[in-house]
Structure 1
Amino acid sequence: MSAETMLAVRTVAATTLDYVRVPRPSAGPGEALLRIDHVALCGTDLHIFEDDYASELPLVQGHELAGTVVALGPGIDEPGVDGLALGDRVAVDPLIPCGQCAACRQGRGNVCARLVVLGCYCDGGLAEYLPVSAERLHRIPDGIPSELGAIAEPVSIALQAITRGRAAAGETVLVLGAGPIGLLATLALRDLGCTVITADTVPGRLDLARDFGAHHTLLVDPTGPFPAEELAAALPDTAPDGPQLVLEATGVPASLTNAVTAVAPAGRVVQVGISVRPTGFPLNLLAFKEIDLLGSRNSQGLIPQALELIVRHPDTVRALITHRFGVQDLATAFATMRDTGQRVGKILIDMPGAGDDGDGTRRDARDGALSR
């Protein structure tokens, strides 16, 4: 590799990738230059790849990423300043809020009116090097492989939903959907001390939900009624009227109806699954139960807490990674995401500069699978 240029992969049109050599960037004031080691893919990446998202192409994708600090820009070029040093392995918070809008002034930059997200609205991690503001970087703890640093961002999404729902130890929580966010929420809720009931339409996902800590699971028939009797049988004595909190993590409109129907009076429902489709339910459910209906988007600075959860449960989190590709096989990775004939969890992309994971080994994804 030339010292002056680097490889970058641009999505230039729907399902079209362009591998290009571009000038290698440098770290600006307050920035660190990262060698990108790993990028994880999610459903948003697939939508961008298919040009079915608000992003403007061409774009270097990649918002779930981990890298190694190789240079420090002005203002952070003294050892220890801002907690960064050359060689640090870091997870990246990809959100860049404006800092000026009403949401930002409330400390809620995750829903900034002019939010920029690395890899979604500006160039991201599918390049060999990327300059990132030091305040968006969080050191990956020793003993944790760098690949799991790339999973910290989706973990933080699950933690944001839990935070929005004000989950507390001893409560019963129903998680609707056992995709990656639902599974990570299940893990975090169990870690918090909640009784967790996880529901999905796919039996294999429910097997994983139990591995992630679900006390009970519910199989939902997508063409039939919600299994209310099975839910009632799973509720502990501390939640006789229903779960105190429901997290909707599917984005299926009918699932939100199930959530407001199932939640206990005075309970909370958090919508974290995303869809542009409309939903509908009797409005009296909200009023008569006095439900708190809350949205959840991105993460309000929860990458450090995400890394702490990963430290406590590294093997469980690693089980999300079901496929792994080199960046040269990125088109195959996206084709795998679209393949409904196989179970796909998190897909990890290894970038060219990625070395060992801190202990001299290169880890492969473990056996096991789940659907998106």
Structure 2
Amino acid sequence: MQPADFQLEDTGDGGAVLRLVGDWTTTGVGPAARRLAGRVGASPVKRLDLSELGRFDTAGALILVHAAPGLLPESAWADRPEAGRIYAMVEALERESAPPPRRADALTRTFAKIGLGVYDIGHEMMMSMAFFGRLMEAALAALRRPGSIRWPAWFSQAERAGLDAMPIIAVTNFFIGAVIAFLGANLLTQFGAGVFTVQLVAVATLRELAVLITAILLAGRSASSFAAEIGSMRMNQEVDAMQVMGVNPFQALVIPRLAALVLMLPLLTFIGMLSGFLGGMVVTWSQLSYGPAFFIQRISDDPMMGTHLMVGLVKAPVFAVVIAGIGCRQGMSVAGDVESLGRRVTAAVVQAIFAIILLDAIFALIFLELNL
């Protein structure tokens, strides 16, 4: 293969002769195309010298169309009529092709993105409401017919979503309790109220931090797992196969995961509370010299601790329903490609965490109005 080259000679009458050398094909026309585009324009090409032209394809023809505007006469291709036919075809297609659409201005694109985002939010809300409606229908059907419940699936999901998460839940809440105790010991001792560090750790752990941290960890751990598992089954058409065999996918896939989280999240929250107490106890013992007996006594003597415990545990089942529902809903929405699976898994984690924080704020307002 001979690389493409050219020579451009001025004829003196306001035109030029273009001599094509070598193979003007897709693989060999690159460097010559850039040089030709920079030289043609001052003098229009009127004749072609094809005596040294090798192979010629549509790539070479497109280069000539762009470099020499205007249709070259058919007589210019007398020595190579087959090349002339290729050139004429490419020139006609290029001339008849529609111009590229005009790019909208920045303001229009900004409002278009905002409108598209609002539409996506509304669509997600509608689809989520429809999913939760089907979920409630499947849950009521399971309660009416306990014999149809797949107990092995329930216990398997409870083990994977609950028992396997105990170590990370305990360790994380331990350090959260220790951090709260460090802050309380540092600030309250400046006012001679270091003893109230125990109440600070207890109230923060019981009411907010234990259930919130546990729910967020499960949102990242279980919601993503639910979305990935069900989404991969959707990609492999296993969900469609279930429906063909008369198996309700909600009964087989969604209800066991929902029941497992509703059962295990309060237990994990209680374990998180104990771990937070342990972290706070270690810090108050090491920093303020308050022993474990004093720490436990201060908590047990406070009559409001039972209320704080109830407030924290009441949130757990609601958070469990939200986490399981969002994870399974995103899994059921996966299309047939891996990119869709990745988007849905990411959306499951983000939406679950956002919903948990929003619901926690709503619970805080409700309990504030109820003086709890």
TM-score normalized with structure 1 length: 0.21
**More helix per residue: 1 or 2?**
2
- Mark the structure with the bigger radius of gyration: 2
Q: Which has the higher strand share?
A: 1
